[in-house]
């Protein structure tokens, strides 16, 4: 019995010890969990060990590439972080940083306490700085550039940055409450708020909680029924569209030696934008205008008809490949050209501008993008619209490869796809000007490969075609035929054949021993191309060029884009 009892006691002791160990382990685990949740309120995520950065109610501290610097009360963000959160097109060269955001372009260097913003000098308390080989911008001095308000809560070690064009709502707390890190059963307290305190409302959950930001920048959750008196502090300021609905623009081209056609007393139903060829860059790299008195009357005629005026700025002419390259490779020359474009927009009370630079070097592609990046905020700042013409993605170095369509489409109000000259004047092989299959394929690349917002794309269509003459050596030459003249050019009795891939009528006939070929641009061909606008929710249509068309095409265009 004694022996048996000893065994029983031994087992009892062992069981008790085991239970104690389990309890101790559980207690340690619980303590660690509690310590983790409590400590997390004071652990700063990411590389920056002292300050949390909250941008538009999101704690992005862990996403920072470099430390936040605070020196003499100035808050600095590194150039890579500014690029990540504010300006993906920020540019550093010649011991200066050029940054753009919405309607502002700012130029800041590393020496002077001055910053140039939209061609005006602004006094600031600190320049850009270098630290450990990295460039830093004094972002607290650049609030107006980025359209933000900044608060530095030193006691909670939080810096907040809020975009002024984003909506904001505030609520009043109805009781003394903890602000929790999550809506789960176990969550830490990130802050405490007193009855009557204001909090910024971020979002509501489905289970009765609201995500808020406290007056000291802390982000967490409060029960929704504890929030009262919601008010809207700011509304979302979406970009205002100058043209309601889809754009219907025609280019109105006339040579530099002539004056523009007098269109007094005429109107075109459905058109809402006109683009006369008023401006060009000359061989000296200067902006020249061909407006004259006739052009001023044209602008008045357009405005009287309710049309917006977005004149074309071109770089056409002999030797302009090199001239354009010189401008694109020189920041000061780009800056001067931009200033002159802004000035003519103001002088002539224009509504926008259409940039039509062609025949450029492939190696200048990124610099041309810089030109558009730097021009766009200046145009937007004066309440105007910028559209930029580009060619199809596949083609020659100076015709297609000179455009970064993704960047242009991202920056400008509109990118105009000139969907023509599939086979152009330089081709020695006969072919269509704009076959439907080619236009559709190219447009797919704009949308899928270049990832351009469909509503920013304006589809350019031709009011012309080419009559090809095939030579005995297998080559071909062509002449331009206006859409309205096709029936006059083709001899009587010639049968046209419909090509369902191209969505065009094909005509072929003999003339003095040569084979003549023509792919017609007419009502059915243009209808097919216009269908791509609705199908892909494009921003509109542009026609090259006025007075080449058959007048019966305008109702068809109007119907297609409505």
Ramachandran category for residue 105: left, alpha or beta (phi over 0 → left; psi -120 to 50 → alpha) = beta
CA distance 546 to 383: 27
Does 545 sit behind a cis peptide bond, omega within 30 degrees of 0 on the bond before it?
A: yes
Amino acid 31: pLDDT: 60
What sign results for the dihedral spanned by CA atoms 60, 61, 63, 64? positive
Amino acid 18: pLDDT: 66
pLDDT (tens place) for every residue of the chain, 562 residues total: 334 434 344 454 555 566 677 777 776 676 655 544 444 433 333 344 579 999 999 999 999 999 999 999 999 999 999 999 999 999 998 899 999 999 999 999 999 999 999 999 999 999 999 999 999 999 999 999 999 999 999 999 999 999 999 999 999 999 999 999 999 888 899 999 999 999 999 999 999 999 999 999 999 999 999 999 999 999 998 888 999 999 999 999 999 889 999 999 999 999 999 999 999 999 999 999 999 999 999 999 999 999 999 999 999 988 999 999 999 999 999 999 999 999 999 999 999 999 999 999 999 999 999 999 999 999 999 999 999 999 999 999 999 999 999 999 999 999 999 999 999 999 999 999 999 999 999 999 999 999 999 999 999 999 999 999 998 888 999 999 999 999 999 999 999 999 999 999 999 999 998 999 999 999 999 999 999 999 999 999 999 999 999 999 999 999 999 8
Q: What is the DSSP string of 259-282?
A: -----TT---TT--EEEE--EEE-
User: Of 377, 372, 434, which is closest to residue 404 (Cα–Cα)?
Assistant: 372
- Non-local CB neighbours of 173 within 8 Å, separated by 6+ positions: 193, 194, 195, 196, 197, 198, 199, 222, 226, 227, 228
Amino acid 303: pLDDT: 98
Task: Name residue, tokens 């780009």.
Answer: 334
Q: Provide the CATH number for the domain formed by 52-153 in this structure.
A: 3.30.457.10
What are the Cα distances from residue 328, in Å, to 101, 280, 287, 323? Answer: 21, 15, 14, 9
Burial (CB count <10 Å: 0-12, 13-18, 19+), residue 387: buried
What are the Cα distances from residue 153, in Å, to 45, 150, 158? Answer: 17, 10, 5
Total Cβ atoms within 10 A of residue 171: 20
CATH topology for 247-463+521-561 is: TIM Barrel (3.20.20)
Give me the residue spans of the domains in the chain.
Answer: 52-153, 167-234, 247-463+521-561
| 167-234 carries CATH number 2.30.30.40 | yes
Amino acid 28: pLDDT: 66
SS3 289: strand
CA distance 496 to 518: 10
Amino acid 93: pLDDT: 87
Pairing of strands 273-276, 308-309: parallel
Amino acid 15: pLDDT: 57
CA distance 33 to 50: 23
């Amino acid at each position: 019995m004694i022996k048996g009892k000893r065994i029983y006691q031994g087992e009892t002791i062992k069981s008790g010890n085991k239970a104690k160990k389990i309890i101790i382990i559980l207690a340690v685990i619980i303590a660690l969990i509690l310590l983790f949740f409590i400590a997390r309120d004071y652990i700063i995520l990411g590389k920056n060990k002292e300050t949390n950065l909250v941008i538009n109610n999101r704690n992005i501290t862990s996403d920072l590439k470099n430390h936040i610097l605070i020196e003499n009360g100035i808050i600095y963000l590194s150039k890579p972080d500014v690029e990540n959160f504010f300006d993906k097109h920020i540019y550093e060269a010649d011991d200066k940083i050029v940054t753009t955001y919405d309607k502002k372009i700012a130029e800041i260097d590393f020496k002077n306490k001055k910053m140039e913003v939209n061609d005006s000098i602004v006094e600031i308390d600190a320049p850009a700085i270098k630290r450990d080989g990295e460039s830093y911008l004094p972002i607290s001095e650049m609030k107006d550039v980025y359209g933000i308000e900044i608060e530095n809560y030193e006691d909670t070690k939080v810096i907040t940055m809020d975009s002024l064009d984003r909506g904001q709502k505030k609520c009043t707390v109805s009781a003394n409450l903890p602000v929790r890190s999550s809506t789960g059963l176990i969550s830490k307290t990130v802050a405490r708020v007193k009855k009557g305190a204001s909090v910024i409302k971020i979002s509501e959950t489905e289970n009765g909680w609201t995500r808020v930001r406290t007056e000291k920048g802390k982000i967490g959750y409060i029960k929704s029924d504890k929030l009262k008196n919601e008010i809207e502090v700011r509304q979302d300021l979406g970009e205002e569209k100058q043209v309601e609905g889809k754009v219907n623009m025609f280019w109105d081209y006339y040579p530099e030696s002539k004056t523009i056609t007098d269109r007094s007393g005429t109107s075109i139903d459905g058109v809402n934008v006109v683009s006369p060829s008023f401006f060009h860059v000359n061989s000296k790299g200067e902006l020249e205008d061909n407006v004259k008195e006739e052009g001023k009357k044209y602008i008045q005629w357009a405005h009287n008809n309710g049309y917006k005026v977005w004149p074309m700025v071109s770089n056409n002419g002999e030797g302009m490949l090199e001239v354009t390259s010189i401008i694109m490779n020189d920041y000061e020359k780009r800056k001067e050209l931009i200033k002159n474009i802004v000035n003519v927009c103001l002088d002539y009370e224009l509504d926008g501008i259409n940039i039509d630079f062609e025949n450029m070097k492939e190696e200048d592609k990124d610099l041309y993008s810089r030109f558009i990046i730097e021009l766009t905020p200046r145009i937007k700042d004066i309440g105007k619209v910028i559209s930029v013409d580009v060619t199809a993605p596949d083609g020659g170095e100076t015709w297609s490869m000179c455009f970064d369509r993704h960047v242009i489409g991202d920056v400008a109000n509109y990118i105009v796809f000139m969907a023509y000259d599939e086979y152009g004047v330089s081709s020695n092989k006969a072919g269509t000007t704009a076959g439907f299959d080619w236009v559709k394929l190219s447009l797919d690349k704009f949308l899928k490969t270049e990832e351009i917002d469909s509503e920013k794309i304006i589809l350019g269509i031709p009011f012309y075609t080419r009559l090809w003459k095939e030579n005995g050596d297998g080559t071909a030459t062509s002449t331009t035929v206006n859409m309205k003249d096709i029936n006059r050019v083709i001899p009587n009795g010639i049968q046209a054949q419909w090509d369902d891939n191209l969505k065009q009528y094909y005509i072929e006939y003999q003339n003095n021993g040569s084979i003549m070929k023509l792919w017609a641009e007419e009502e059915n061909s243009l209808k097919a191309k216009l269908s791509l606008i609705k199908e892909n929710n494009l921003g509109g249509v542009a026609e090259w060029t006025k007075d080449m068309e058959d007048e019966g095409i305008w109702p068809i265009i109007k119907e297609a884009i409505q």
